[in-house]
Amino acid sequence: MTPKVRFAPSPTGRIHIGNARTALMNWLFAKHRGGTFVLRFDDTDQERSREEYAVSIEADLHWLGIHPDEVARQSQRFALYGAAADRLKALGRLYPCYETEDELDRRRKRQAARGLPPVYDRAALALTSDEIAALEGEGRKPHWRFKLDHRVVAWRDLVRGECHVDCASLSDPVLVRADGTYLYTLPSVVDDVDMAMTHIIRGEDHVTNTAVQIQLFELLGTVVPQFAHHNLLTNASGEGLSKRMGHLSLTSLREEGLEAMAAASLAVLVGSSEAVRPVASLEALAPLVDLSRLSRAPARFDEAELHHLNARLLHDAGFASVQARLQALGVAADEPFWLAVRGNLETLKDALIWWQVVHGPQAPVASDVAWLASAAALLPQEPWDQATWGAWTAAIKAETGHSGRNLFMPLRLALTGHEHGPELKALLPLIGRERAVRRLSGETA
């Protein structure tokens, strides 16, 4: 079966790394098998949905390397949901209820006091036509509940294995609000049917919805998709992520200058059977996704680990893979510069620091002016290569008797202004003789 999957965020905020885990699981699963990935905006909440969030979600997915094969918006598909609701009503499976929230809350409290589960008692089904007319005469408008078959619904989850839910233990869910708007369940299933989704890969917080949705799939006349409910991400402290709170949003990670594949590698591999490591591309990451071997425990997304993976990716990156991005940062680098500095980068924008060191102006840090002047006098003539540093420092040691830290640290501070950084055997030829002499003389150059 060629898979067709979907990622269905609501554009009511910026997506976070936990949402990205779901998007990536779907994308990698489909693309590794030659399938189709659909981005479907759950924008039925017209008050909270914002176009700016839809735009940012697409930008975040593109940053990760996810380019949807199709994009759909539920706000443009209301006619389908109305037709499905009418069909369920005709089947006697969608029925009107007139209770207010206060009345339902009091009923739940009475059930709790009697030690009963807070399951809706289907009182609305017992209303006579006169009682309905009286309620509507009060100005009440009904909400509509889906009448569940009281049977056990079972499915084989690709993550969790054999699962089942006794639907007699569930309340008949509300599918349509009194104002005529739809809750999540009906549009989701209708779209999955209409778009012929083969697999529903989502977070384990949706497990409880599955039995209800399977009954809807069966009524709406389609093959039931395969389900996979993966474990959720938390932050390093074990707290859940919130789109509304902006925890670990992809936009913030992108603006921080982090590598997309560092975020993707950690988001996908943490909480799996694979060791967490930096993976250079989605193509290389896809074969590592095995839904059947995901942990059932929540997976912690540690920002410190993310930064570690980010640095490792940069340290191994070839110049061609970063050249355009360096230029966008204002770093007109060549390969020797990249090879000299990449091992000292935590984010790509750190290359700006070393571009400034090489090309100046850079203020030196001079501690022993006379000694630095002696060192400058021993600088060989150009052309220079990576052997120049060793030959020059050997000459300084022989001339002045300085060695070890007493030799290397004053030179590093004078030439770069930093106590730590790339190896000077690679950096010195990039700085050049003229600029080096001036810095060793205490000049800004």
pLDDT tens by residue, 250-299: 999 999 999 999 999 999 999 999 999 999 999 999 999 999 999 999 99
Q: Which domain holds residue 119?
A: 82-176
The per-residue pLDDT for range 188-219, each reduced to its tens digit, is: 999 999 999 999 999 999 999 999 999 999 99
Four-residue CA torsion sign, 246, 251, 256, 260:
positive
Q: Which of 65-79, 173-187, 235-249, 326-340 has the lowest mean pLDDT?
A: 235-249
Q: Are residues 201 and 62 in the same domain?
A: yes
Predicted confidence (pLDDT) at residue 186 exceeds the cutoff of 80: yes
95 lies in some domain: yes
Average pLDDT of the chain is 95
DSSP state of 140: -
Statement: residue 126 has pLDDT above 90: yes
Whether residue 183 is predicted with pLDDT greater than 80 in this model: the reply is yes
In a domain, 13, yes or no: yes
The yes-or-no verdict on residue 111 having pLDDT over 70 is yes
Cβ contact 437:379 at 8 Å: yes
The pLDDT of 175-190, averaged and rounded, is: 97
Is residue 135 one of the residues assigned to a domain?
A: yes
Contact 273, 262 (CB under 8 A): no
Domain match, 227 and 104 both: no
When divided into structural domains, the chain yields a total of: 3
Higher-scoring residue by pLDDT: 3, 360 = 3
Same domain? For 111 and 256 the reply is no
Domain-terminating residue out of 128, 143, 176: 176
pLDDT range class, residue 245, cuts 50, 70, 90: low
Write the pLDDT tens digit of every residue in 145-162.
999 999 999 999 999 999
404 within a domain of the structure (yes/no): yes
Q: 54, 43 in Cβ contact below 8 A?
A: yes
Cα dihedral 269, 270, 274, 276, rounded to 10, equals 80
Please tell me the predicted confidence (pLDDT) of residue 247: 74
Amino acid identity, residue 142?
P
The rounded distance, in Å, linking the Cα atoms of 93 and 144 is 10
pLDDT above 90 for 242: no
Across-strand partners of 281?
A: none
Mean pLDDT of 9-24: 96
Q: Are residues 291 and 170 in the same domain?
A: no
- 213's CB contacts (< 8 A; 6+ apart) are 185, 188, 189
The confidence score (pLDDT) of residue 221 equals: 81
Is the pLDDT at 44 greater than 80, yes or no? yes
Which pTM does this prediction carry?
Answer: 0.92
Percent of the chain at pLDDT above 90?
93
Write out pLDDT tens, residues 319-337: 999 999 999 999 999 999 9
